Structure 1
Amino acid sequence: MRIRDILRNKGDAVATVAPGTTVRDLLELLSERNIGAAVVSADGASVDGIVSERDVVRRLHERGADLLAAPVSEIMTARVETCGPDAVVDDVRGIMTEHRFRHLPVVQDGRLAGIVSIGDVVKSAIDVLESEREHLVGYIQQSP
């Protein structure tokens, strides 16, 4: 299975914020959309960074409530791992597990094409296993 298969099912919408967006506004976006991360992008197409709930919590502990007025560019991860739509889901799951991050932007031709979460990747693995199980059960039930 490829990342494009996941995007076909979930869609390619990506929550983005400009680098100057305040942490307070970021939190509002994350809460409203019930998501855990947003891509930081000055133009909505490039990936300048990524910022997650985890980034906010860690910096809030260090800096206190004043952090809420700070721009997300101060807390974002600037060196962002990405993948393409043709990436193999098992490979992506390994990368996410090894590097311990839960969101991976999908980039095609230098433009943001979607985002996958560890939940999306795990769900796809479960779907594949369920399909294989159904095929095996069908095969066994058809045997003489």
Structure 2
Amino acid sequence: MRIREVISRKGDAVVTCQPGTTVGELLGLLAEHGIGAVVVSGDGRAVDGIVSERDVVRRLHERGAAVLTASVQEVMTAAVHTTSPDTEVAELAGAMTEGRFRHVPLVEDGALVGIVSIGDVVRSRIEALAAERDHLQAYIQQ
């Protein structure tokens, strides 16, 4: 299964913010949308970075409450692992596990087209296993 199929089921909406957005405003976006990371993009197409709950917590530990007025550009991860919608789910799962990251923006023809979380990847793997199990059960019962 390819990531494109995961996106077709979950949707391609991506929450983004400008690099100058404050960390306090970012926390509002995370809470409002019930998500764990936001893609930082100056134009809504390019991936300038990604900022997650982990990034905020780490900077909060380092800088204290003053981090809430900092820009996301100061706390984001700039070296973002991106992938294509044509990537195999198993391949991306391995990369996410090895790299210890939970969110991967999807880029196609240089433009942001979606985002997948480790939860999306795990859900698709579980669905694939369940379908395989059902297929095997039907085969055995014939």
* TM-score under structure 2 length normalisation: 0.99
Aligned to 1:72: 72
Aligned to 1:140: 140
Q: Which amino acid aligns with 2:43?
A: D
* RMSD of Structure 2 on Structure 1 (CA): 0.4
Distance 2:141 2:93 in 1: 33
Distance 1:95 1:138 in 2: 34
Q: Which runs of 5+ in 1 are unaligned?
A: none
Aligned to 2:126: 126
Q: Which amino acid aligns with 1:58?
A: R
Distance 1:67 1:75 in 2: 9
Q: Which amino acid aligns with 1:14?
A: V
Measured against aligned partners, the alpha-carbon deviations of 1:46-95 in whole angstroms (never above 9, x if no partner) come to 00000000000000000000100000000000010100010000000000
Q: Which amino acid aligns with 1:4?
A: R
Q: CA deviation at 1:44?
A: 0.6
Any idea what SS the aligned residue of 1:81 has? Answer: coil
Distance 1:94 1:6 in 2: 16
Q: CA deviation at 1:2?
A: 0.2
Aligned to 1:22: 22
Any idea what SS the aligned residue of 1:101 has? Answer: coil
Q: CA deviation at 1:121?
A: 0.3
Distance 1:141 1:6 in 2: 30
Distance 2:10 2:119 in 1: 11
Which contiguous aligned blocks of 4+ residues in structure 1 show a shift greater than 3 angstroms? none
Matched, 1:53 2:53: yes
* TM-score under structure 1 length normalisation: 0.98
Any idea what SS the aligned residue of 1:4 has? Answer: helix
Residue identity over aligned pairs, in percent, reads 65
Matched, 1:116 2:112: no
